[in-house]
Amino acid sequence: MSIEGEEYSEIKSDPTCPACGMVIKVSDKFCGHCGVELTGEQPQVKEDVFSVLGPSLGYYFFTLVLLAIYKLTPIFPEGFEGLAIISALDVTVVIAFFIYLFHDMKPVLSFKGFSFKVALLTIVGALLGSLFISWFAPILEISISDDVFYDPYLFEDTSHPFLMATLFICVQPAIFEEIAFRGFMFSNIAKATTSIGAVYVTSFVFGIIHLSFISLLWLVPIGLAFAFLRMRYNIIWYGVIGHFTYNFGITVLEFLGWF
């Protein structure tokens, strides 16, 4: 008996074509009697790729213009006040897209299959990363604070500088950047290309939206790490944990003035 024989033994009666009811074979890709496709794959309604990508491009360019106004024009107030306003705007935009794309977001927010081991490894990796970057950036003769949107001085005048820095530098980006880049943008772009393609695209745009040139050197790899975690485990929580740990590490080292 041929190898196919085993395949047939599992199916008691011969399979039939769902369209015309004639007998078919398991190995058939098309029904020999009516020509209908048997792979079970329904021909998809083709949607224009730009209407698929619309939400991602919309979120990206809207946020880009907001950040460009904040960073490159004097429109926003200086110091903590400006930071608070841009953060509030950014969070609002993410929440709007989050609600609009909630259908895509639901599965990646699940805690099912959450592994503390992976979370712990992510924390260790993020801590090592923040140590390395805090040491590496001054070697490039640039301060990290020039390259992200925040400077410790922004928080000097607030009642609780360290708490405020933790909220605005660590908590807010960890939640909302992850929801945006590893959440709805990733799901959205993965619809148009492969998951691995979505990993590369979202990591790069995550890097450039920070509008800081040199920091692309580490922002893109950081984005890649979180995006791979998103692809591998299909949830955003490892990215949230890693992002918080990394930013918190940088902030603590900055406040300690170690590097």
Partner 1 sequence: MENLTELPDASLSACENCQTLNSTQQKFCTQCSFPIGGTDEERQIFRSTITSRKWLLNEAESRVRSAKTIIYVLAGIFILFGLYRGFGQDSFPDMVVNIVLAIVFLIFAAWAEKNPFGAILTAFILYLTVQVVNAFVEPSTIFSGIILKVIFIGAFIKGIRSAQEAKEYMKELDKVKAVPQS
Contact residues toward partner 1 (CB under 8 A) are 1-2, 4-5, 24-25, 27-35, 37, 46, 48-50, 53, 57, 60-61, 64-65, 68-69, 72-73, 189, 192-194, 196-198, 200-201, 204-205, 208-209, 211, 213
DSSP label of 11: S
Name the residue with tokens 């709805």: 184
Report the alpha-carbon distance of residue 247 to residue 251 in Å, rounded.
Answer: 6
How many Cα atoms sit within 13 Å of 143 on the Cβ side? 12
Please say which residue, 35 or 138, places its beta carbon nearer to partner 1: 35
Please say which residue, 60 or 80, places its beta carbon nearer to partner 1: 60
Q: How far is the CB of 209 from partner 1 (least distance, A)?
A: 8
Please check whether residue 38 is in contact with residue 17, taking contact to mean a CB–CB distance below 8 angstroms: yes
Q: How far is the CB of 224 from partner 1 (least distance, A)?
A: 13
Report the alpha-carbon distance of residue 188 to residue 21 in Å, rounded.
Answer: 39
Please say which residue, 49 or 128, places its beta carbon nearer to partner 1: 49
Please say which residue, 5 or 113, places its beta carbon nearer to partner 1: 5
Residue 30's DSSP bridge partners are 37
Please say which residue, 34 or 95, places its beta carbon nearer to partner 1: 34
Q: How far is the CB of 51 from partner 1 (least distance, A)?
A: 11
Q: How far is the CB of 179 from partner 1 (least distance, A)?
A: 19
Q: How far is the CB of 253 from partner 1 (least distance, A)?
A: 26
Please check whether residue 239 is in contact with residue 186, taking contact to mean a CB–CB distance below 8 angstroms: no
DSSP string over 23-88: B--TT-SB-TTT--B-S-PPPPPP--HHHHHHHHHHHHHHHHHHHHHHHHSS-SPSHHHHHHHHHH
Q: How far is the CB of 70 from partner 1 (least distance, A)?
A: 10
Please say which residue, 34 or 120, places its beta carbon nearer to partner 1: 34
Say how far residue 4 (Cα) sits from the centre of its chain. Answer: 44
Please check whether residue 70 is in contact with residue 82, taking contact to mean a CB–CB distance below 8 angstroms: yes
Please say which residue, 32 or 77, places its beta carbon nearer to partner 1: 32
DSSP string over 226-252: HHHHHHHHS-SHHHHHHHHHHHHHHHH
Q: How far is the CB of 61 from partner 1 (least distance, A)?
A: 7
